Amino acid sequence: MKDFIQFILKRLGTTAITLIIISMIIFGVCHLMPGDAVDMMLGGISLQSLGETTIDELRKELGLNLPVYQQYYNWAVGIFHGDLGTSYIMKAPIAPLVIRRLGHTLLLAVPASLMMIVFGLSLGILSAVKEKTWIDQGISFVSLSMLSVPSFLTGTLFIYIFSVKLGWIPAAYNILDLEGMSMFKMMGAYFGILLFPSLTLGFESIAYVNRQTRASMIEELKTNYVRTAVLKGVHPRDVVLHHALRNGLLPAITVIAFNVGQIIAGTVIIEVVFSYPGIGNLMIMAIKFRDVPLILATMIVISSGYVFANLVADILYTQLNPRIKYS
């Protein structure tokens, strides 16, 4: 147990360092952007009419006259106080905006992760049990093609079939519709509609989990303890679900946790496809308008989600596998 706590603390430490370095990279790259915030904000206004002194004052007010490391420090300290800065284009504090958009994104990402776990595992177990039959080959073929298809095509296909052809779902989500509602009401109203974006989001991950589960279950089903259980007359269902799955699940769990990270990062594309007002779409908009504080905030939030998902993957793996020594 002491080993375990030590291991967790160590991993938390490296995760913190990783996040700090990632934030430095994001900040540094953003700093390479030609023109600073003041140029961005003034946009159309001619510089002469304002005069150099006004501009310098504005720079000073925003802290842009400071050296880069000082700016980074101020920004990083701000994050710990829950202050993500002010968006140039929206002229509003970023934190509430990002939190609301993150809520929308989680509304996609959580069902997507659940679908990945349910479909990925059950299809994987099914194809392992039915190894080398047409069922197995069918599932393998489908999951291989799922990996060769870009996610925007999956999403566009869903839109084409269910929106253009059948008219079941709207082709685009009206941002105002969603923003007014409470989280709970929104969930009820959009349950049917959210299905397709989240299914698209989970699509690739379902294939990965399915393949990993199939591979490890096939291995487990060949072991002696499984054969013993079968010969003892244990019900085949119990052999698979109680005996083999307990060990076969282990590699799958790591893949699942890792794919939660992929799902979080993958929302960017899906939100563009479905014109969904999540944090990914916010990031793309920030990039297009070169709104640096907004770019920084959205990127940090998405990257943190990804990094933490990987941390969980790591911890689960060592925790569940007694053969691995903490190091």
Partner 1 sequence: MCLKGVPMSNNSLMQLGLKKLITDFFKNKITTNLIIGIGILAAFVLIGIFAPHITPYDADEMHYEHLKEMPSASFLLGTDRYGRDVLSRVIVGTRATLLVASISTLLALFLGITFGATSAFFGGQVDNIMMRINDIFMSFPTLIFAILVIGVLGPSMINGVIAIGIIYAPRVTRVVRAQALNIVHLEYIDAAKVRGESSFYIIFREMLPNLWPTIIVEGSIRLGYAILLTASLGYIGLGPPPPMPDWGLMAYSERGYMFETPWPVFAPCIAIVIAVIGVNLFGEGLKDILLAKGSRSKEAKA
Enumerate binding residues for partner 1 (CB under 8 A).
18, 21-22, 25-26, 29-30, 32-33, 144-145, 147-153, 156, 159-160, 164, 261-262, 264-266, 268-269, 272-273, 283-284, 287-288, 295, 299, 302-303, 306-307, 310
CB 205 within 8 A of CB 259: yes
Nearer to partner 1, 115 or 301 (CB): 301
Q: Which is nearer to partner 1, 41 or 284 (CB)?
A: 284
Q: Which of residues 234 and 265 has its CB atom nearest to partner 1 in the complex?
A: 265
Chain centroid to CA 273: 16
Q: Between 26 and 193, whose beta carbon lies closer to partner 1?
A: 26
CB of 282 to partner 1, least distance (A): 12
Torsion of CA 219, 224, 227, 228, to 10 degrees: -150
Give the angle 64-281-284 at the CA atoms, nearest 5°: 45
Nearer to partner 1, 200 or 226 (CB): 200
Residue 22: CB minimum distance to partner 1, A: 6
DSSP-assigned states of every residue in 55-110: HHHHHHHHTTTS-HHHHHHHHHHHHHTT---B-TTT-SBHHHHHHHHHHHHHHHHH
At closest approach, how far in Å is the CB of 248 from partner 1?
23
Q: Toward partner 1, which CB reaches closer, 138 or 150?
A: 150
132 φ, ψ to 5°? 65, 15
> Measured from the CB of residue 317, what is the shortest distance to partner 1 in angstroms?
15
Can you tell me the distance from the alpha carbon of 132 to that of 215, in angstroms, rounded to the nearest whole number? 12
Measured distance CA(11)–CA(92) in Å, rounded: 36
The DSSP-derived string for 230-277 is HHTT--HHHIIIIIIHHHHHHHHHHHHHHHHHHHHHHHHHHHHHTT--
Distance of closest approach, residue 34 Cβ to partner 1, in angstroms: 9
- Cβ 125 vs Cβ 213: under 8 Å: yes
For residue 293, the minimal CB distance to partner 1 (Å) is 14
